[in-house]
Amino acid sequence: MAPEQVDTDIELSEANDVDIRVEAPCPAVRLIRVAGRLDRAVAAGVLRLVSAQLNLVAGRHRAVTDLVLDIGAVSSFELAGLEALCHAPYSAGRHGIDLSLSGCGRRVHQLPLRARGLLLKHFRTFPTADVALQEIAKTAGSPQWPVPREVVPQHMDRRRRRHAARSRSMRVTPAPA
């Protein structure tokens, strides 16, 4: 079965020869393929596509549980582009979506140490997109909609957190009769 081509096909600039495509190999997975040079501008385009997919999930328009970012056809990397991509797993995780990076293969060891550290720290990596899709298929328990993770308020200040913790610990239970 051939993957469904999603209606997102972006050519960022003809001078850079960059191509970004979103495919749907199965209903719960979106595969974002990047070809060409990965710099900060291309990474920003990829982040916009990831954000668009997350907005569709948040609005319950799509039941996506996994995003796979395939960089197998990337011809050259810039550190600024890789640094920008490191925001994607955080955004996806806030929506309960797993984001993986494929296409690294043997090229990970050719990257500068800082770039390699960024990729390995922020992403679950696979050598090819096919391997990533097989691993996702093994672990998929495809719910109808992704189960949302519990939202933890990050803006709560220290005093309010302490008060909330105290009030939970000071609950009085009635004595047995």
pLDDT in tens, 90-137: 888 888 888 999 988 777 777 778 888 888 888 888 999 999 998 888
Which has more pLDDT, 157 or 50? 50
> By CB neighbour count within 10 A (0-12 exposed, 13-18 middle, 19+ buried), where does 172 fall?
exposed
What homologous superfamily does CATH list for 4-148?
A: STAS domain (3.30.750.24)
In the prediction, which pLDDT does 27 show?
85
Give which of 58, 28, 34, 64 is closest to 46, Cα–Cα: 34
Write down the mean pLDDT value for the chain.
76
Lookup: tokens for 114 = 């800082």
**Annotated domain spans of the chain:** 4-148
